[in-house]
A and B are shown apart, each in its own frame.
Chain A
C-alpha cells in the first residue's frame, strides 16, 4: 500500500470512528436533560433512573470521543504536515474556539456527573444542558473547519504563497452554514434512531418495560423529528454544492454530460469509461430543479472538469445513494410513528412498530458515514479545493501503511470493547437504575 493511500485510509478511519462518539456525545446530553426535566417536574422516579442511566452513557462516549479527538489533532500533523503548515493559521480559528467549547463541556460534565445531591437541582439540570449546547457548538465549529477545505476563503493564494490571512472570513466560508446545519441535524437523526432502537429491543424482550418505554419515547421523538428535517437541509446542501463544487455534484449524481433539464439518477452502476450509468431510474428534469430551482436549469457535468481534477465517481455516487435512500427510509418510519402518536394510539404498543425501530438502529449512522464519504471523496483530488492536492499534503515519512494497520487494529478493538461495555450497562439496568423493579422485589 502506498503512503498516500495508507494516510487517507487512516484519516478516514480515525474520523469515521471519532464522529460516531462525537455525535452521541453531543446529542445524548439533550436526551438526558429532557428526561431530567421530567424527573424534576413530575418526580416520577423512572425519569430519574433514565437520566442516570443515560448520563453513564454520556460519560463513556464523552471520554472515548475526547480520546479519539486528541488522536485526531495529532494525526492532522502526523499525516498531513504540508497541509497543516499552510492551513493551520487560516482555518485554525474554529479549532481554537472549539477548544473553549470542549473545555466548557468537560467542566459542565464534571458538575453534572458528580453533582447529584450536591448542587441545587435546577442548577444541576442546567449544567446538563450546557454539556449539550457546548457539544453542539464544538460540532458546528469543527465542521466549519472542514467546510473551509471545500470552500477555501480568507486568504489570497499568490504564486504558492498564502497571503492576507483573515481567520474570521475563513471560518465563515461559503460552505459552513449548509454543512453545519446538515451535520447537526444528522447527529440528532443518527443518535435518536440508535438509542430508540436499543430501547425498543429491550421492550420487545420484555425487560423493565416502564423504564425502556419512557427512554424510547424521548429518543424516538428527537430522532423522527430530525429525520423529517434532514431532507430539507439536504436540499439546501445540494443547491450549495451545485454552486460551489459542481464537480462534486456531478460525481454524486454520476452526471457525465452538461445538460439542461437534467434527470435525477437513482441507483444504477456508473460506467466511467463509457460515461454512462447502467440500470438506473431516471426522473427527467428533477436534478436541474434540485440544483437550480428550475426544471430547465443547466447542470454542469464531469465533461467540464479536466480529467486530473475529477473526483472518483463510483464511490461518491454509491455513498450519496446510500445516504439519501436511508434518509428516505427514516422519513417513512418517522411518518408511521407520528401517525401512531396522533391517530392510532394502539400502534404504539404493537410489536411491528418496535421491530421497525430495532431494524433501523444502525441506519442513521450508516447514512452519516456515507454522507461524509460523499463530502470527502467528492472533494478529491484536492485537500484544499483548487489550492492544494491531497498527494502534495502527505507526510514525507515512509511506511505509513504500518501506522494504518496499527491504528485500524486499535480502533477495531476499541469499538468491540465499547460495544461490550454498553451491553453490560444495558443488562444491568434492573439492578442499577430501575428503582421501580427494585421496589417490587
Chain B
C-alpha cells in the first residue's frame, strides 16, 4: 500500500505542476505580452481554464494531506525549516486566487480591473518561484537541523543560488506550459501563429533557465550532474525529454496542438522523474546526512492502509467526473459561459 500512496503523492505533485503550472503561466505570459495582445491572451486563457480552475489547485492540497497523514516527519521538517518561503508562497496563493476571482466575477466592469490585474500577474510569478525554491531546498541538502542560530536554521536552509535558479526554472516551465496549452485553444490562423512563435521562444527560455540551474549547482557545490545523470533511469528520462523536443518543433511547425500538449506533459514528467528518482526513497535531504525517506519515515501500517484506500476510493469518484468535465467543455469551447 505504501507504494500506492507514493504514486498518488507523485501524481498529485505532477498534476499540480502541469495544470496549476499552465494556470500560473497564463499570468506570467501576460507579463511578457504586448498591450495589444493582453486582452486576447486573458480571454483565451480564461475560457480554457475557467471551468477546471477550482479543481486545479486541489492537487496541491491532496499532496499536502498525503504528506501530513502518511509522512508526518517530512511534512513537519519542511514546515519548520522552510517556514519563510512557504509563507511567501502562501501569500502568492492567496493573492492569486482572490485576484482571479475578482477579475472574473466582479459584476461591475470598471477601473477596478486595473487593480486586480497587476496583483494577478505578479502573484502568478511569485507562487511558482517559491514553489521551486521549496522543492530545490528540500532535495539539495541545505536544511541544517543542527543549526543553532536563526539565520542558518531558517534562512540559509533555503536561500542559495541553486534554490533561486530552480525557482526561476519553475517559473519558466509554467510560462512554457501556458503557451503550449493556449495554442490548442486558439482558432487556426492569426492567433495561433502568434502563440506558436511564443511557444518557440518559451522553449529557449526554459533551456536557458535549465542551464542556469546547472551553473548554480556548480557554484553551490551540489553534485547535480551525478545525481541526475548518474543512474540509468534518470539518464534515460533526461535523454527522452531532450529527444522529444525535436518532436515538439515538428508539432509546432505542423500545427498539432494535441501532440504538443502530450509532449509538454511528457517532458515535465520526465524532468520531475529524474529529479525525484535519483534519491528515492529519500525525499528531503538534510545537511547532516540524516535524510528523510518515504519508506523509513512512513506512518504506522494502519494509517498507510486507510490512507491508501481513501485515495483509491476517492479517485474512483473523482477521475471519471474530472475527465467528463474537461471533455464537455473542450467539446463546446465556443459556447458562452
**A: which residues have CB within 8 A of B?**
56, 59-60, 62-64, 66-71, 73-74, 76-78, 81-82, 84-86, 88-90, 92-93, 95-100, 102-104, 106-111, 113-114, 116-119, 165-168, 395-399, 403, 406, 410, 414, 417-418, 421, 424-425, 427-428, 432
Contacts and interface: CB of A to CB of B under 8 A. Distances in A.
B135 interface: no
Interface stretch (B102-110, B191-199, B230-238, B250-258): B102-110
A424 B70 CA distance: 44
Contact of B94 (A82, A108, A166, A414): A414
Given A78-B83, A167-B306, A114 B51 contact: yes
Contacts of A66: 54, 57, 97
6 contacts: A84-B75, A84-B76, A96-B307, A104-B321, A106-B54, A110-B325
B60 interface: yes
B87 A403 contact: yes
Interface stretch (B166-174, B283-291, B312-320): B312-320
B60 A100 contact: no
A106 B328 CA distance: 16
Contacts of A165: 299-300, 302-303
Contact of B98 (A62, A64, A96, A110): A64
A432 B322 contact: no
Contacts of B271: none
B72 A67 contact: no
B68 A166 contact: no
Contacts of B73: 85
A84 B72 contact: yes
Interface in B41-86: 50-55, 57-58, 60-62, 64-66, 68-70, 72-73, 75-76, 78-80, 83, 86
Interface stretch (B179-187, B205-213, B329-337): B329-337
A386 B152 CA distance: 36
B311 interface: yes
Given A66-B57, A103-B318, A425 B107 contact: yes
Contact of B72 (A64, A89, A117, A428): A89
Contact of B54 (A63, A97, A99, A417): A63
B100 interface: yes
Contacts of B50: 114
A169 to B, nearest CB: 10
A353 B325 CA distance: 44
A109 B94 contact: no
Nearest to A169: B302
A64 B55 contact: no
B310 A111 contact: no
Contacts of B32: none
Q: Which 3 A-B pairs have the closest CB atoms?
A: A92-B69, A77-B79, A100-B314
B130 to A, nearest CB: 12
A117 B314 CA distance: 29
B119 to A, nearest CB: 10
B329 A114 contact: yes
Contacts of B75: 77, 84-85, 88
Most central of A59, A95, A119, A399 by chain B CB within 10 Å: A95
B100 A63 contact: yes
B102 A421 contact: yes
B69 A96 contact: yes
B65 A73 contact: yes
Interface of B: 50-55, 57-58, 60-62, 64-66, 68-70, 72-73, 75-76, 78-80, 83, 86-87, 90-91, 93-94, 97-98, 100-102, 105-108, 150, 153-154, 299-300, 302-303, 306-307, 310-311, 313-314, 317-318, 321-322, 325, 328-329, 332, 335, 337
A85 B72 contact: yes
B54 to A, nearest CB: 4
Nearest to B328: A118
Nearest to A96: B310
B68 A77 contact: yes
Contacts of A427: 107-108
Nearest to B78: A77
B303 A95 contact: no
B133 to A, nearest CB: 15
Contacts of A100: 310, 313-314, 317-318
A398 B150 contact: yes
A67 to B, nearest CB: 4
A89 B51 contact: no
B97 A97 contact: no
B299 A428 contact: no
Contacts of B318: 100, 103-104, 107
B68 A84 contact: yes
Contact of A96 (B65, B93, B101, B317): B65
B314 A93 contact: no
A67 B98 contact: yes
Most central of A82, A90, A99, A168 by chain B CB within 10 Å: A99
Contacts of B310: 93, 96-97, 99-100
Given A67-B94, A168-B306, A78 B54 contact: no
A88 B304 CA distance: 11
B76 A424 contact: no
A59 B101 contact: yes
B288 to A, nearest CB: 17
A168 B305 CA distance: 11
Nearest to A98: B65
Contacts of B313: 100
B73 to A, nearest CB: 6
B60 to A, nearest CB: 7
B107 A63 contact: no
Given A56-B105, A114-B329, A398-B150, A410 B58 contact: no
A396 B79 CA distance: 11
Contact of B299 (A62, A89, A106): A89
B325 A74 contact: no
A81 B57 contact: no
A418 B94 CA distance: 13
Nearest to A100: B314
Contact of A78 (B55, B58, B87, B328): B87
Contacts of B78: 77
Contacts of B332: 118
